Amino acid sequence: MKVATQLSSVEGHRMRLFGLIIPALLACPATVAACDIPSPAIADYLNGHANGRVVFVGNVVASTARKTDGLVIEDLTVSVSKSFGVATLPRTLPVLSRISGGSNPCGRADFSARAGEQWLIFGQRDAERVWPDLYLSRKLVNGRIGAALLRQLSPAASLKMRE
């Protein structure tokens, strides 16, 4: 009888605790914003040249900053060595590195590439620059793209080498 009373007491505590946690969780607001949209898949970048999507390997050559309307915009100059997909790219491209002095509603980090580094960049190109996808773009170590990623990049599109 004593064991049964102890068990029912423990169960009673669990039920009360559970009864407090669930309403508290339901009361927490769940925020959904445009920032929560998942980034496009690799195939979307490879086949999205009509929408300005690009995939390329580039070497960071230089960094320039300019102030516009209270914002400091820093672009990297990237020398394109390989491009994937059907987009034709110039030999060098400006790639957005950071915007400071304004608000960043999505809380996304800056593109932290530095001069001398080699990167595989997935991005959205407009008339001024490439806006890198911070989730898919990656720094290359010894100029190598991992085998699994290279398989995703190569079959869907032709690999164009710059000479």
Indicate if the pLDDT at residue 1 is higher than 90.
Answer: no
| Confidence band, pLDDT 50/70/90 cuts, at residue 17 | very low
CB-based contact 39:135 (threshold 8 Å): yes
Closest by Cα among 89, 34, 86, 32 to 57:
89
**Which of these ranges, 79-83, 97-101, 157-161, has the smallest mean pLDDT?**
157-161
Closest by Cα among 126, 135, 68 to 108:
135
Buried b / exposed e across 7-32, counting CB within 10 Å, b at 16+? eeeeeeeeeeeeeeeeeeeeeeeeee
Residue 25 pLDDT: 43
Q: What are the backbone angles phi and psi of residue 37, rounded to the nearest 5°?
A: -70, 130
Burial class (CB in 10 A: 0-12, 13-18, 19+), 64: exposed
CATH number (1.10.1200, 1.20.140, 2.40.50, 3.40.50) of 39-161 reads: 2.40.50
**Which of these ranges, 23-37, 54-68, 74-88, 120-134, has the smallest mean pLDDT?**
23-37
Indicate if the pLDDT at residue 116 is higher than 60.
Answer: yes
Half-sphere exposure of 38 (CA within 13 A, CB side): 4
Q: Where are the domains of the chain?
A: 1-30, 39-161
Indicate if the pLDDT at residue 33 is higher than 50.
Answer: no
Query: In the 8-state DSSP scheme, what is residue 113?
Result: -
Indicate if the pLDDT at residue 135 is higher than 80.
Answer: yes
